[in-house]
């Protein structure tokens, strides 16, 4: 669907509050927009009464649009009983869902699809854009990666279109329309195929045809989850349509929750967009769940979803040119590095690293993380560290080791407190090379037999124990990288030896303690 312009050429109406299958499965205190102003462009005409002036309740519109027949069978009764026993949950979900529904209903109305489809994300994800299943399905419509890509949802390190409410809704309705055509207008079969895949439903139909059995949804032999999936939707349909009968309390419409989408035109951090628009950062992060690192993707999209009442403030700020360029870089974690060490090395806060990567635990070796600083600076530090390590490696003498029966790379590495990969590198061994008794191996001079357990200490600790420390007075223009390079030590060690030092706290005249190798 091509959205119609509402506030500006670049501002689109979206309903959102807070987060499938393979392609075959193969804030604000400002004045909110009035219903009339939002409907003026035509997107919310369906929300207005016959006089074109009176706003109807959103859930009233939904209730009046529900037309599917609801059979009285055990599967549906069980799902109704579940929802009736969990009314508080259902009330919370419908409150969360309401803002998204403006966007979804607008598409449903334009495509002339069943209103029941607006309830499908309740079954899929409880309308949580951050929802992720055990099968890696994500977003309110629960697309798995392959299906998302099949339906045009971009997914990369920076952005996941499956969590973008506007984009994923378009993709989900595209998929459902396609399935409905495939199953010749049988919406129950199409919805079942959305859950378990069209191939599974087609096979079930063929099996019944071969046995002379009915081929309606209720007669098909489908996975247990799919046998419950359609009844859940139909149970919700009946309860929403007859909410008074079931004493189901549905939230009142609140256009404060209706969002617009502002096209920024370049990469922007959500924190800056929050300041420019007046929307709390936590809310903006929820509205823009598709952005993985709290910054729009370098290659786009660059759209920001936010309450319509804040859109003009953001537009005005953007027009003033008051926007910082974003040039974030990446770092591959190595053994011994922690979030805190990286923060001190690069002169940023540990919390900013956690926020940029949505981290709730410590980083691990081999993990690639985004750092909210210049990529050029990261590369500069990495290059200098590589040179230091290379110089250290070239200057280190080698010791000879003769392989004995039963030896493995792992056992030798453990015995001499080195890495197997280092032994392979020093001796130009391939991954599949087997050791032979009598074979000679070269080990670095700092490889010491671990019968002396004290050698398991870090290089920083070992240097300290040797008491070969020096005091270095910081000069103007010094950086951690330049100091480490000059003294042929590792930046990590400098940070360990000087716990109060960070990359942006080097004061000329102050001193550092360094330990010679």
Active site residues: 124
Please give the structure tokens belonging to residue 474: 């910081």
| Max CA pair span of the chain | 96
**Element of type H or E holding 497:** helix 491-497
Please give the structure tokens belonging to residue 341: 């060490």
Angular region, 467: left φ>0, alpha ψ -120 to 50, beta rest: left
Please give the structure tokens belonging to residue 222: 């489908």
Distances (CA, A) of 245 to 94, 97, 240, 248: 17, 22, 10, 8
**Residue 259 · residue 14 · CB < 8 Å:** yes
Strand, coil or helix: 43: coil
- What Rg, from alpha-carbon coordinates, does the chain have? 30
The secondary structure of residue 256, as a DSSP letter, is G
- CA–CA dist 20, 172 (Å, integer): 9
Contacts for 119 with CB less than 8 Å, ≥ 6 apart:
62, 233, 236, 237, 240
| CA 401 to chain CA centroid, nearest Å | 48
- Residue 450 phi/psi, 5° resolution? -80, 10
The secondary structure of residue 132, as a DSSP letter, is B
List for the chain the helix, strand, coil content (%; round to 5). Answer: 45, 10, 40
Distances (CA, A) of 307 to 29, 127, 287, 380: 11, 18, 9, 41
DSSP annotation string for 412-424:
HHHHTT--HHHHH
- CA–CA dist 88, 93 (Å, integer): 9
Strand, coil or helix: 12: strand
- CA–CA dist 35, 43 (Å, integer): 11
Q: Taking the CA atoms of 52, 55, 59 and 63 in sequence, report the sign of the dihedral they define.
A: negative
Contacts for 53 with CB less than 8 Å, ≥ 6 apart:
36
Place of tokens 């691990």: 364
- Residue 442 phi/psi, 5° resolution? -100, 130
Place of tokens 């019944």: 208
- CA–CA dist 289, 458 (Å, integer): 41
């Amino acid at each position: 669907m091509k959205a119609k312009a509402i506030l500006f050429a670049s501002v689109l109406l979206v309903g959102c509050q807070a987060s499938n299958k393979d392609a075959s499965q193969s804030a604000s205190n400002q004045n909110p927009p009035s219903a009339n102003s939002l409907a003026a462009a035509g997107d919310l005409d369906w929300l207005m009464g016959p006089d074109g002036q009176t706003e109807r309740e959103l859930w009233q519109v939904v209730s009046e649009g529900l037309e599917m027949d609801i059979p009285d069978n055990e599967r549906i009764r069980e799902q109704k009983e579940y929802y009736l026993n969990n009314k508080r949950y259902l009330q919370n979900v419908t409150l969360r869902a309401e803002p998204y529904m403006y966007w979804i209903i607008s598409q449903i109305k334009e495509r002339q699809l069943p209103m029941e489809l607006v309830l499908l994300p309740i079954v899929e994800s409880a309308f949580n854009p951050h929802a992720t299943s055990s099968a890696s399905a994500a977003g309110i419509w629960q697309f798995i990666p392959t299906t998302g890509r099949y339906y045009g949802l971009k997914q990369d390190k920076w952005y996941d279109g499956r969590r973008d409410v506007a984009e994923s809704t378009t993709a989900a309705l595209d998929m459902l329309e396609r399935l409905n055509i495939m199953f010749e207008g049988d919406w129950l079969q199409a919805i079942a195929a959305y859950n378990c895949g069209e191939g599974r439903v087609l096979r079930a139909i063929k099996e019944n045809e071969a046995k002379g059995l009915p081929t309606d949804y209720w007669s098909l032999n489908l996975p247990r989850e799919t046998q419950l999936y359609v009844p859940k939707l139909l149970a919700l349909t009946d309860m929403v349509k007859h909410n008074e009968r079931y004493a189901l309390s549905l939230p009142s419409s609140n256009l404060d929750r209706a969002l617009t989408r502002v096209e920024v035109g370049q990469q922007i951090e959500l924190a800056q967009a929050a300041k420019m628009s007046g929307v709390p950062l936590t809310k903006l992060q929820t509205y823009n769940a598709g952005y993985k690192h709290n910054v729009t993707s370098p290659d786009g999209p660059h759209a920001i979803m936010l309450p319509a009442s804040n859109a003009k403030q953001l537009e005005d700020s953007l027009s003033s040119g008051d926007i910082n360029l974003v040039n974030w870089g990446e770092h591959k974690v190595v053994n011994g590095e922690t979030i805190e060490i990286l923060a001190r090395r690069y002169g940023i806060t540990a919390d900013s690293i956690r926020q940029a990567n949505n981290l709730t635990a410590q980083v691990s070796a081999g993990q690639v993380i985004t750092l909210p600083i210049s990529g050029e600076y990261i590369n500069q530090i990495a290059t200098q560290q590589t040179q230091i390590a290379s110089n250290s490696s070239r200057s280190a003498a080698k010791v000879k080791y003769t392989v004995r029966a039963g030896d493995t790379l792992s056992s030798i590495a453990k015995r001499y407190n080195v890495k197997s990969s280092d032994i392979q590198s020093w001796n130009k061994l391939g991954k599949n090379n087997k050791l032979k008794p009598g074979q000679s191996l070269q080990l670095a001079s700092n490889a010491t037999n671990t019968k002396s357990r004290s050698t398991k200490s870090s290089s920083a600790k070992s240097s300290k124990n040797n008491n070969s420390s020096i005091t270095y007075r910081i000069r103007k223009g010094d950086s951690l990288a330049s100091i480490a390079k000059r003294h042929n030590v590792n930046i990590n060690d400098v940070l360990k030896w000087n716990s109060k030092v960070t990359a942006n706290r080097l004061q000329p005249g102050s001193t550092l303690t360094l330990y010679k190798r």
